[in-house]
């Protein structure tokens, strides 16, 4: 069965992605983190569906990474 699930998570955007639009950089990092991964009680994450909300980015001290809290929807297969 195909389901959509909402996930809230911290995404870290590296300086190499600063040239991209914010939404594209966030989506790329979310895809890298979750695509083809199995999450308990969700199943196999197949693909990014929608970015529901995101916070303003905060630069981490000494890392140069921008930390963004976001909520997004994922499509996945669930067998249960």
How many structural domains are present in the chain?
Answer: 1
Query: What pLDDT score was predicted for residue 79?
Result: 59
What span, in angstroms and rounded, lies between the C-alpha atoms of 71 and 13?
15
Q: Can you give the pTM of this predicted structure?
A: 0.80
In 3-state terms, what secondary structure has residue 61? coil
Range of the domain at 33: 2-77
Burial class (CB in 10 A: 0-12, 13-18, 19+), 32: exposed
The confidence score (pLDDT) of residue 68 equals: 92
pLDDT at position 17 is 92
- C-beta separation of 17 from 28 below 8 A: yes
Phi and psi for 58 in degrees, rounded to 5?
-115, 130
- Here the CATH number for the domain that contains residue 24 is 3.30.1490.120
Q: Per-residue pLDDT for the chain (80 aa), expressed as one digit of tens each?
A: 778 888 898 999 999 999 999 889 999 999 998 888 888 878 888 888 888 888 888 898 888 899 999 898 888 766 55
């Amino acid at each position: 069965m195909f389901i959509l699930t909402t996930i809230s998570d911290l995404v870290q955007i590296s300086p190499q992605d600063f040239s991209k639009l914010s939404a594209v950089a966030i989506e790329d990092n979310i895809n890298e983190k979750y695509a083809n991964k199995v999450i308990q009680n969700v199943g196999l994450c197949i693909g990014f569906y929608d970015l529901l909300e995101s916070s303003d980015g905060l630069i981490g001290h000494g890392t140069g990474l921008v930390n963004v809290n976001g909520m997004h929807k994922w499509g996945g297969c669930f067998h249960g």
